[in-house]
Structure 1
Amino acid sequence: MFIFGLFLMLTWGHMLATDCRTALLFSKTEAYRAIFPHLQHQLYLNHAAVSPLSSRIVRAIQDYLAERSEWDVENYTTRLLPTLHSARQRVASFIHCEPHQLAFVPNTSYALNILAQGLKWQSGDRILLHEREFPANVYPFLNLRKHGIEIDFVSSRQGQILLDDIEAKLTPRTRLVSMSYVQFLTGFRIDLAALAELCHRHGALVSIDAIQALGAMPIDFKRSGIDFLAAGCHKWAMSPMGIGIMVMTDALLEQLETPFVGWLSVEDGWDFFNYGQDLLDDARRHELGTQNWIGLVGLNEAFAMFHELGSETIAEKLLLLSSHLCQRLQEEGFRTAFVAEKQHCSGIVSIQGLDNPSAVQQQLMQAHIEVSTREGLLRVSPHFYNTIDDLEQFLAQLKAIVQPKPIYR
């Protein structure tokens, strides 16, 4: 009897602690809803496409533009360089890389082209990709076929990419494996450390497209063991369009050729006529010229907010939301694109089996609820400031639009 009573006490204690933690988590993120004015007009669940800009970011950009317009017009040293330094430090510490390993780029595609064009290839080398990868992580490598590079594709099983299937596709000539951390279509999240260990054991480098994870799921570049990471910042990273990051290990930095150079690729770009300068010895050599300063100002403010929250808080809230949504969808008779353990889930939940997902999306939009359709799936992607009530509002409207098909077991 005593043991049973102790068991009940421990169980209730665990449940109470979990409930308290959840309440604190929602309380911490709830405060940030005030800086997203779009919430007054719509329910936005489409962060896997593009995120709304917070009022903090808008204000930071407006201040910068006013300064450039009225006061300190050539504010390169007084405003821009400090912003660049701050942004580099904030992003680097958030994803656990060294600042010198990080370069700011226009987008994911640009970064992946730097990798594709910078590696020293030999005819017959092979690259392994996922068969339903976002095109930004495909075309830069397909472009190498003209040099005799072979491209292999690995399939997924019920929305999941299995390490055993990746290993079966690796050959002695596989030089590079390029995957998304989070798949844009299904939301499947791969184990970066396990992927890196597997590929390195077979002599292949690992490149990661992290656009669907940066600002949503924790990234520890150093501990993961991956070699290269690229991510645009206009989705979960909640920054303006046209700004992204590229990160590489020191070993890859030494190995990678520099396919494009500009006046800021060298040690002192302001020593204009000294054409004999060496390139910078870090990732900044790939920042060729004038930056997207509006993008950087916004990114700097976005990552200030992320540091306030912490990557673990953001991820925990998102996984709680996606878990709730998956469970409720199943209860209501809808089918998700994949069912997996928590470590493979993300902020994306995609619904399959709808007869006309585009029509459903349009009707949701008329009800001021924004999601997206991708390849026959209805994709739902809340962010940390969304709530359970938001998801229930979405579900109620979805049920009003479409009658779910029964799930036979």
Structure 2
Amino acid sequence: MSDEFALDPDLCHLNHAAVGPWPRRAVAAVTRFAEENARQGSLDYPVWLAVEQRLRERLAWLIGADQTADIALAKNTSEALSVIAHGLPWTPGDSIVGIAQEFPSNRVVWESLADQGVTWRALDLDGSSDPEADLIALCDDSTRMIAVSWVQYASGLRLDLERLGAWCRANDVLLCVDAIQGLGALPFDLKRFQADFVVADGHKWMLGPEGLALLYVRSGLRERLTLRQFGWHMVEHSGDFDRTDWTPARDARRFECGSPNLLGAHALEASLSLLAEIGMDEVWRRLQARTAHLIALIDARGFELLTPRDAERRAGIVTFRVPGESSSRLYSSLMARRVLCAQRGGGIRFSPHFYTPLETLERAMYILDEILE
């Protein structure tokens, strides 16, 4: 499937945990959409809406949801989390349990509830050998939700969502999962994980554009969320513009106040069609082979691996540190040599995908060798 990607041959793209490249089919879909618009305006608008509906179906497939009625399209992960955080009814004294090392989107949104008397309790992963047990230990009678990333953006630690979900469901605690660093990289099983909310932007492992994100809300919870945004699109009879009485849509469209991002929908739908053709089990098998190869290259050089070694604890992120070297300097030097990566968690973060040639991993490490010399 490497022919699906038109990356410059002198570029080592190891940054899918930040922004992934589009496959050729996504580029083609957006080009067709733009050309249709240029030639005939919105004549094919119903066809465009059919593409958006296919996108909802693909997102439902990606997480294992039974129905598209539970799938809303948000602008990004932060907006999706805000819909949840500021939609749920809170009582002063309530608490939310999370992780201290989270990406700011998964910290700021919960801290913003402080003026409602809600406390955010954070687990420090640096002192935890069993993060699921330690997250559960932070919960008490005041805890209404555990809100975590499936995969930590800096270290690449993957949580056991099945374990967390079972405990949350048994104890009437909500589970909110930011799945942005896992969806598109490995299979997600909503039935096993029992998440109440799942959010993820499409521009990383899903290989889509920025500006379009998944918001899954368990059907029994939709009407418990107070709506904070309103417009023509979120009402039940959205096409009846002369109607003066209105109610929010019964399905997850109630969280989409205005016009859809059809340009983004064409790109993301096409990108997900690639993952569907390959199958997420096969995507994950290929990605695991690449991360294992990368870890072997890191170990052979005596570098310090910051990502968990246990394959059950990893996804597509591999973060490492070179002892005695400035990660900031190495990052700048790697980027200058067209090794696209990130500086995260005190080290260098590489994040290949299922299609990344093994030769790209080896070339990136050889370039690093040359920088160190």
TM-score category (smaller protein): over 0.9
Unaligned runs of 5+ in 2: none
**What letter corresponds to residue 52 of structure 2 in structure 1?**
L
**Equivalence for 1:215:** 184
Pair 314,44 (structure 1): closer, same or farther in 2 beyond 3 Å: same
Deviations 1:220-256 (A, max 9, x none): 1233111100000101111011011100211222322
Q: Secondary structure at the match of 1:40?
A: coil
Deviations 1:274-313 (A, max 9, x none): 2322211111111111111111100110111110010111
Pair 314,160 (structure 1): closer, same or farther in 2 beyond 3 Å: farther
**What letter corresponds to residue 88 of structure 1 in structure 2?**
R
**Equivalence for 2:61:** 93
CA RMSD of aligned residues (A): 1.6
**Equivalence for 1:181:** 150
**What letter corresponds to residue 260 of structure 1 in structure 2?**
Q
Between the aligned partners of 2:60 and 2:136, the Cα distance in structure 1 is 31
Higher relative contact order, chain-length normalized (CA < 8 Å, sep 6+): 2
Between the aligned partners of 1:159 and 1:330, the Cα distance in structure 2 is 24
**Equivalence for 2:366:** 396
User: Aligned residue pairs: how many?
Assistant: 371
* CA displacement at 1:187 relative to structure 2: 0.6
**Equivalence for 1:369:** 339
* CA displacement at 1:389 relative to structure 2: 1.8
Between the aligned partners of 2:370 and 2:298, the Cα distance in structure 1 is 14
* CA displacement at 1:159 relative to structure 2: 7.8
Between the aligned partners of 1:67 and 1:195, the Cα distance in structure 2 is 47
**What letter corresponds to residue 350 of structure 2 in structure 1?**
V
Q: Secondary structure at the match of 2:216?
A: strand
**Equivalence for 1:12:** none
Pair 63,299 (structure 1): closer, same or farther in 2 beyond 3 Å: same
Output aligned runs, 1:303-342, within 5 Å.
Answer: 303-342=272-311
Question: Which of 277, 291, 299 in structure 1 is aligned with 2:260?
Answer: 291
Q: Secondary structure at the match of 2:147?
A: strand
Between the aligned partners of 2:308 and 2:202, the Cα distance in structure 1 is 27
**Equivalence for 1:45:** 14
Structure 1 residue 135 and structure 2 residue 104: aligned?
yes
Between the aligned partners of 2:347 and 2:244, the Cα distance in structure 1 is 53
Q: Does the Cα contact within 8 Å between 1:182 and 1:190 map onto a contact in 2? A: yes
Between the aligned partners of 2:131 and 2:288, the Cα distance in structure 1 is 21
Between the aligned partners of 1:159 and 1:56, the Cα distance in structure 2 is 43
Q: Secondary structure at the match of 1:217?
A: coil
**What letter corresponds to residue 337 of structure 2 in structure 1?**
A
TM-score by length of 2: 0.95
Question: Which of 279, 291, 307 in structure 1 is aligned with 2:248?
Answer: 279
Pair 124,72 (structure 1): closer, same or farther in 2 beyond 3 Å: same
Q: Secondary structure at the match of 2:200?
A: strand
Q: Does the Cα contact within 8 Å between 2:145 and 2:173 map onto a contact in 1? A: yes
TM-score by length of 1: 0.87
> Quick check: 231-240 or 353-362, which moved more?
353-362
**Equivalence for 1:4:** none
Between the aligned partners of 2:332 and 2:2, the Cα distance in structure 1 is 25
Deviations 1:167-217 (A, max 9, x none): 210111000110000100011111111111122333310000011111111
Q: Does the Cα contact within 8 Å between 2:49 and 2:262 map onto a contact in 1? A: no
Q: Does the Cα contact within 8 Å between 1:46 and 1:381 map onto a contact in 2? A: yes
Output aligned runs, 1:1-400, within 5 Å.
Answer: 32-77=1-46, 79-97=47-65, 98-157=67-126, 162-354=131-323, 355-400=325-370
Q: Does the Cα contact within 8 Å between 2:307 and 2:314 map onto a contact in 1? A: no
Residue identity over aligned pairs, in percent, reads 30
Deviations 1:102-139 (A, max 9, x none): 00110000000000011110000001110010011111
Unaligned runs of 5+ in 1: 1-31, 404-409
Give 1 or 2 for the bigger CA radius of gyration. Answer: 1
Pair 49,154 (structure 1): closer, same or farther in 2 beyond 3 Å: same
Between the aligned partners of 2:127 and 2:358, the Cα distance in structure 1 is 27
